[in-house]
Structure 1
């Protein structure tokens, strides 16, 4: 069992658990492929589901060391900083980014796993369980590219490093979902929307509808 990391890469194991989660493989098939028992399977699956994008079995082998009080304080500071961003009603942030937090800690010379960060987050009240997304087919309103361009603007403080609000104007092709235009403006004005529309027409031609 301890040789799992020598037989498979993180990407290969991630692929197997993704296939299992999507119903493309059974638990038995994944267990037989990895050559692990039921208990080990569910332990790995739990780690995968906590952070599918950054799942790694290597952290399971390197994180037995004790974390110093100084590092614990640094982890707490970063978690409370993240919580302050979520609590700010002017910022368009709705979930914790533990991967970014881990990267910030790494720059400070603190290397820990996501599981450790999540464990500390739960103890500090800085954790939000991930909501399960319902599987659904996106409704397409059109039958061809260029038949409809969805155009919109949204004004927020897009970065916690600035006090100024900016307007993000986007234009998206309804059929292909390709982003045809996206840029920030100091204010949402008619002229800003005209500039965005002109950019789409200059680069992609005249659509049937906006």
Structure 2
């Protein structure tokens, strides 16, 4: 442990990260989106799952959302992206590894605290 303290305590953090990059021993990788996703919003979001009802709708925190192009009784993944500056919540609905629908709703109807 003392050897590690001596090895890292005298280095500036930026230099400590830049040296492995220059030497090719870097474990840090550039950010890339997972295969099906189209935006970083789909990675850094709040997630829920809902089942599409017989009217092709889902209920989310008291909001009824129409979900076209999804078969009845199928589960969909819901990605919620809050924007407190604009006071909106972007709802991105995914089914079968594709974006099925996207809608923007007012933020005050959701029970999520920021």
Structure in which a larger fraction of residues adopt strand? 2
For the pair shown, the structure with the greater C-alpha radius of gyration is 1
Do the two structures share a fold, i.e. TM-score over 0.5? Answer: no
Structure in which a larger fraction of residues adopt helix? 1
- TM-score between the two structures when normalised by the length of structure 2: 0.27
Greater RCO (Cα-Cα under 8 Å, separation 6 or more): 2
- TM-score between the two structures when normalised by the length of structure 1: 0.17
